[in-house]
């Protein structure tokens, strides 16, 4: 008689996103061999899939924020202001007006390392613009150069928009964290219970009525459990690499 036992995994200790990722991958792996599984196991799989789908919908609902709609125009405005500064500076680099050309060269040196800041992830763009603006404000030469090109007001507007965006972004992060902490225990139980029930059914199948497909599925899910074991406690929220669905 076979003696297959899953690696111990305290699923309830996983963060919401890691738990959902584990469940979704497990379901995908099982669906790939569904036709070769016994009826009891398929029934457990279907129940598991339904509960996890509801779990995913709750997560999506939980992670929506009205603040996102307020952040979008602020991000667009700061991107536009930064583009205006770059365009004006670039236009004066070939100017015949030597003082303006010299001012443009000074500002261009400031901007060049962060020229593509607008294409970066939102929080990275915020940090980079903060650093750039701090260097700008700390330099009398750069402040004077901006006045020469009449972009000092644009720099001030960029700082205001970036600061406003940062405040909203941090508020949204805090909101998501509070929601997850408040609702985490209520979001997961049904999906966790179904996952455990499915794994128990699979253990019984490979021990009592084994076949090549169910054993292969068991081995893949066990490897997955070992990888997620490292994420217990929610210390990380990046799902590990998972076995391919074949």
Is residue 196 within 8 Å of 16, Cβ to Cβ?
no
Give residue 233's pLDDT: 62
Long-range CB pairs of 228-234 (<8 Å, 24+ gap) are: 228/9, 228/14, 228/18, 228/22, 229/7, 229/8, 229/9, 231/14, 231/15, 231/18, 232/9, 232/10, 232/13, 232/14, 233/13, 234/13, 234/14, 234/15, 234/18
Q: How confident is the model at residue 242 (pLDDT cuts 50, 70, 90)?
A: very low
pTM, entire model = 0.51
pLDDT of 234 higher than 60 = no
Give residue 231's pLDDT: 82
Q: Tens digits of per-residue pLDDT, 111-150?
A: 999 999 988 888 889 999 999 999 999 999 999 999 999 9
Tell me the C-alpha distance between 151 and 173, whole Å: 33
Q: What is the mean pLDDT of the chain?
A: 87
Break the chain into its structural domains and give their ranges. Answer: 11-64+187-229, 67-180
Give residue 64's pLDDT: 61
**Lowest mean pLDDT, pick from 75-84, 142-151, 170-179, 191-200:** 170-179
Which range among 2-16, 58-72, 162-176, 208-222 has the greatest average pLDDT? 208-222
């Amino acid at each position: 008689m076979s003696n297959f036992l899953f690696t111990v995994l305290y699923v309830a200790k996983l963060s919401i996103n890691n738990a959902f990722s584990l469940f979704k991958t497990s379901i995908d792996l099982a669906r790939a061999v569904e036709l070769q599984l016994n009826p009891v196991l398929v029934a457990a799989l279907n129940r598991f899939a339904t509960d996890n789908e509801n779990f995913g919908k709750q997560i999506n609902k939980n992670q929506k924020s009205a603040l996102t709609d307020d952040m979008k125009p602020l991000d667009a405005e700061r991107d536009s202001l930064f583009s205006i500064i770059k365009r004006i500076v670039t236009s004066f680099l070939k100017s015949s007006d030597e003082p303006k050309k010299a001012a443009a060269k000074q500002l261009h040196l400031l901007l060049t390392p962060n020229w593509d800041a607008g294409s970066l992830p939102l929080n990275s763009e915020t940090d980079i613009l903060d650093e750039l603006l701090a260097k700008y404000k700390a330099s009398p030469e750069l402040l004077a150069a901006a006045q020469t090109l009449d972009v000092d007001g644009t720099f001030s507007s960029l700082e205001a928009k970036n600061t406003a965006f940062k405040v909203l972004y941090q508020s949204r992060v805090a909101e998501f964290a509070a929601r997850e902490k408040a609702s985490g225990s209520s979001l997961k139980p049904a999906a966790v219970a179904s996952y455990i029930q499915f794994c128990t059914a699979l253990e019984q199948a490979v021990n009592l009525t084994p076949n090549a497909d169910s054993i292969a599925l068991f081995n893949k899910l066990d490897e997955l459990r070992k990888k997620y074991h490292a994420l217990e406690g929610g210390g990380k929220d990046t799902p590990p690499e998972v076995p391919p669905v074949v």
